[in-house]
Amino acid sequence: MNKIEIEFTINGKKRNLSVKPNDLLINIIRNDLFLTGSKYGCGIGECGACTVLLDGEPVLSCLTLAATVDGKEITTIEGLAKGNELHPMQIAFLKNTAVQCGFCTPSMILTATALLKENPNPTEDEIRDYMRGNICRCTGYIQIVKAIESCAEGGKSEPV
């Protein structure tokens, strides 16, 4: 099968790869670039665990062909912290104990940062609506919503 040459930026770094036509972005990110923060969950776009930011927008990397990201910019959970300094959303998730098993956490945090970029001061309903594609089987979502609220401009919710 013919390989396709692609060039893209991931977490600020330019990468060149040659990929197969049927390579999924999630597999390239995990298996070729060893960035295992993004998770392969359901594989059919129902659970959101594979979320990455593509040109700033949260998308499902399990339903994105690697060949289609040529020239684009990707951010994964590994790209949020600056060295040892965590991103404010990561701190908010920790302080609010919005993490249990952690499988959904990278995707939750990425989607949440995209939400606050679009809407810096969302209501609880707006948070729940925006996050509805990211499923968490442990926390019951309350801590996650609180973490996002605490990170928003108004900082409505104090850490528990």
Residues contributing to the site for other proteins (CB under 8 A)? 1-2, 4, 20-22, 24, 43-46, 48, 51, 54, 57-60, 62-65, 67-68, 111, 129-130, 132-135
**Choice between 31 and 159, CB closer to other proteins:** 31
Q: How far is CA 160 from CA 69, 95, 149, in A?
A: 40, 7, 12
Minimum distance of other proteins from residue 29's CB (angstroms)? 16
Minimum distance of other proteins from residue 125's CB (angstroms)? 11
**Choice between 48 and 106, CB closer to other proteins:** 48
**Choice between 2 and 84, CB closer to other proteins:** 2
Minimum distance of other proteins from residue 8's CB (angstroms)? 14
Render 48-103 in DSSP notation, one character per residue. -TTEEEETTEEEEGGGSBGGGGTT-EEE-GGGTSBTTB--HHHHHHHHTT--SS-S
3-state helix, strand, coil in the chain (%, to 5): 40, 20, 45
